[in-house]
Amino acid sequence: MVTVGWTKSGFPSLRTSRFRVSCSAKPETVQKVCEIVKKQLALPAESELTPESKFAALGADSLDTVEIVMSLEEEFGISVEEESSQNITTVQEAADLIEKLVQKKSEA
């Protein structure tokens, strides 16, 4: 893993590699997504959320999913397209999409 020092707003000290090919998201991103999902679905703070948790399994309906995507957009300062947002069903998918958009934004 190569340590690259660039500043990303909101992520001060992280080690990240420009050449990473795998599509796993950073744990901090996954953690933030979990927090937003918990808040939206009013889950207790101790509830265990794995990256593979499906929103529907946690009791979210389609309106909840839209609201969660909106909160993620605001939290990370990204803009999610219509088609992409319909494909988000798990925490991991959301985190991966966020990473992709944040990276695209910082490269633009």
Partner 1 sequence: MASTPSKSQILSLFRSLLRTARDFSDYNIREYTKRRTIDGFRHNRHVSDPSSIAAAYSDAESQLQIARRQVIVYSLYVPKLKSVMEIKHA
Q: How many helices (H) and strands (E) does the chain have?
A: 4, 0
Q: Examine residue 61 and tell whether it contacts partner 1 (CB under 8 A).
A: yes
Task: Provide the minimum distance between the beta carbon of 4 and partner 1 in the complex, in angstroms, as a whole number.
Answer: 29
Q: Select the span of 31-39, 51-59, 62-70, 94-102 touching partner 1 (CB under 8 A).
A: 62-70
For partner 1, which is the closer residue by CB, 45 or 63?
63
Is residue 77 a contact partner of residue 105, using CB atoms and an 8 Å limit?
yes
Catalytic residue flag (residue 64): no
Backbone torsions φ then ψ of 105, nearest 5 degrees? -65, -40
What's the min distance (Å) between Cβ of 20 and partner 1? 31
Per CB under 8 A, 82 contacts partner 1:
yes
CA distance 65 to 59: 10
8 phi and psi, to 5 degrees?
A: -120, 135
52 touches partner 1 (CB under 8 A): no
Rounded to 10°, the helix 62-76/91-107 angle is 30
* Contact positions vs partner 1 (CB under 8 A): 61-63, 66-67, 69-70, 74, 82, 85-86
The set of catalytic residues is 61
